[in-house]
């Protein structure tokens, strides 16, 4: 039986072949570390890294390739962003649909920096009303940090409107694009972002182990370093360099990961994000329609594929989500993820805490056949 992967919100799979080839080629042909003024092969490595920065900056319409910083994953990016930018006693706004990668560092900063946090409640579809956010802004509010899209319901957030609000009110704006980068158009400039955090291994179709962020010059000015160490620059100084991207990139870079991410972004550019989005939207529509025709199934999140990504959480009445996922894997070779998805607040928001849900998440490499088989399996299990 052919395996069907529907856990793309966790990591995309498979990866385009060019990604794996790029990593192998890098490791075989270049392999060494970037270095200024070193040998040719090291300069090749540096050029590859720069080209990757440029691709990412172009993809997101960032301010400059040097404002693109590489990290190991978006969780590190979010930690650097919040811990570096937020100052003592700041008031911060976030939403009730956030992943623990936002919630847990915020909790830490409440203790360490005495920041205060207000959470904008979303409705039971995970939809955020901009007015709710606006009503939480006070004289001490300095920043909004939020996801571009819920990892539980796939609900797309009104980033453009919140960005406009941030500009009007002079707030810093940090966005978690874990669920949207590579799938939905993101424009750093038009969306009024200060820190766009991204991960390489989900919609961007790259390997696990590489992520990053793009930071505005105004946010960078007051953002502290997070990891200090060797940068290959200003090596005579025992203080961290103050310029981008070195300020935030200490130690050896994940160059094989960057080579893989570079290849995957080239792949995405060739396919076109709008085509990727259209394909995923079509499959999501069909999946949602099919789900609504099956008895005993509860579907969470928006019903309209236009308002969401391909992430669809469901429950079968009377069954534990873990049991459903187990049967899907064991009997139908369909891979999904059950539980709280590192987003307890989001589960509370849509009213399924602590039960959780079975999360299906559609990716670019899924087919109509995958959706049909998933629907067939759910029909059998729910009967």
DSSP characters for 116-170? Answer: EEEEEPP-TT-PPPHHHHHHH--TTEEEEEEESB-TTT-BBP-HHHHHHHHHHHT
Instruction: Tell me how far CA of residue 219 lies from CA of 4, 114, 173, 195, 214, in angstroms.
Output: 42, 20, 9, 8, 10
Among 66, 132, 225, 296, binds a second copy (CB under 8 A): 225
| Beta-carbon count within 10 A of 105 CB | 20
Cβ of residue 200: shortest distance to a second copy, in angstroms?
A: 9
Kindly provide the residue ranges of all beta strands, DSSP E only, lying in the chain, ordered along the sequence: 4-5, 68-71, 91-95, 116-120, 141-147, 172-176, 195-199, 211-215, 297-299, 311-316, 334-335, 337-339, 357-361
Considering the rule CB under 8 A, would residue 2 count as an interface residue with a second copy?
no
Residue 231 binds a second copy, judged by CB under 8 A: yes
50 interacts with a second copy by CB under 8 A? no
Within residues 157-176, the interface with a second copy by CB under 8 A covers none
Residue 299 touches a second copy, criterion: CB under 8 A: no
Strand partners, 176: 147, 197
Q: Which of 255, 284, 361, 366 binds a second copy (CB under 8 A)?
A: 255
Contact between 228 and a second copy per CB under 8 A: yes
Q: Contact between 61 and a second copy (CB under 8 A)? A: no
Site residues for a second copy, 315-334, by CB under 8 A, read: 322, 325-326, 328-329
Q: Which is nearer to a second copy, 76 or 194 (CB)?
A: 76
Q: Is 251 among the residues that bind a second copy (CB under 8 A)?
A: yes
Only segment of 71-79, 122-130, 131-139, 187-195 that touches a second copy (CB under 8 A) = 71-79
State the residue for tokens 């790259």: 206
Restricted to residues 122-141, the positions that interact with a second copy (CB under 8 A) are none
Q: Is 370 near a second copy (CB under 8 A)?
A: no
Helices 40-60 and 255-271 pack at an angle, to 10 degrees, of 40
Task: Return the residue of 57, 67, 79, 264 that touches a second copy, per CB under 8 A.
Answer: 79
Q: Are 1 and 332 in contact (CB under 8 A)?
A: yes
Q: Are 226 and 91 in contact (CB under 8 A)?
A: no
Dihedral sign of CA atoms 121, 298, 182, 33 in order: positive
Q: Which is nearer to a second copy, 143 or 305 (CB)?
A: 143
Using the CB atoms, write b or e for 253-266: b if 16+ within 10 Å. Answer: bbbbbbbbbbbbbb
Nearer to a second copy, 2 or 293 (CB): 2
- According to DSSP, residue 28 is labeled I
Q: Pick from 53, 55, 31, 52: which is nearest to 41 by CA?
A: 31
Contact between 23 and a second copy per CB under 8 A: yes
Q: Which stretch binds a second copy (CB under 8 A): 103-111, 127-135, 166-174, 181-189?
A: 103-111
Region of 56-64, 232-240, 291-299, 366-374 interacting with a second copy (CB under 8 A):
232-240
**Site membership for a second copy, residue 118 (CB under 8 A):** no
Using CB under 8 A as the binding rule, whether residue 47 contacts a second copy is answered as no
Taking the least distance from each CB to a second copy, the nearer of 230 and 272 is 230
Shortest Cβ distance from residue 289 to a second copy (Å)? 25
56 binds a second copy (CB under 8 A): no
């Amino acid at each position: 039986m052919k395996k069907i992967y529907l856990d793309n919100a966790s990591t995309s799979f498979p990866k385009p072949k060019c990604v794996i080839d790029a990593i192998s080629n890098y490791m075989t042909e270049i392999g060494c570390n970037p270095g200024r003024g070193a040998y040719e092969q090291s300069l090749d490595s540096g050029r590859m890294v720069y080209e990757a920065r440029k691709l990412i900056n172009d993809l997101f319409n960032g301010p400059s390739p040097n404002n693109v910083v590489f990290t190991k994953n978006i969780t590190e990016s979010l930690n650097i962003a919040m811990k570096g930018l937020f100052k003592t006693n700041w008031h911060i706004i976030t939403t009730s649909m956030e992943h623990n990668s936002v919630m847990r560092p915020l909790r830490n900063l409440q203790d360490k920096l005495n920041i205060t946090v207000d959470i904008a409640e979303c409705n039971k579809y995970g939809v955020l009303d901009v007015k709710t956010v606006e009503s939480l802004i006070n004289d001490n509010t300095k920043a909004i940090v939020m996801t571009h899209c819920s990892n539980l319901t796939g609900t797309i957030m009104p980033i453009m409107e919140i960005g406009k609000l941030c500009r009007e009110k002079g707030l810093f704006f940090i966005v978690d694009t874990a669920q949207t980068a590579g799938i939905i158009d993101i424009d750093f400039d038009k969306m009024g972002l200060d820190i766009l955090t991204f991960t390489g291994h989900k919609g961007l179709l790259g390997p696990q182990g590489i992520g990053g962020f793009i930071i505005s010059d105004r946010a960078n000015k007051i953002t502290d370093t997070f990891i200090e160490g060797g940068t290959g620059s200003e090596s005579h100084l025992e203080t961290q360099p103050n310029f981008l991207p070195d300020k935030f990139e200490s130690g050896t870079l994940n160059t094989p990961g960057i080579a893989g991410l570079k290849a995957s972004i080239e792949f995405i550019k060739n396919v076109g994000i709008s085509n990727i989005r259209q394909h995923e939207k079509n499959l999501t529509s069909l999946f949602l329609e099919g789900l609504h025709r099956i008895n005993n199934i509860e579907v969470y999140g928006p019903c309209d594929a236009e308002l969401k990504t391909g992430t669809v959480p469901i429950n079968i009445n009377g069954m534990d989500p873990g049991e459903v996922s187990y049967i899907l894997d064991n009997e139908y070779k369909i891979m999904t993820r059950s539980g709280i998805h590192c987003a307890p607040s989001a589960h509370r928001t849509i009213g399924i805490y602590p039960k959780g849900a079975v999360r299906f998440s559609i990716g670019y490499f899924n087919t109509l056949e995958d959706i049909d088989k998933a629907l067939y399996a759910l029909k059998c299990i729910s009967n």
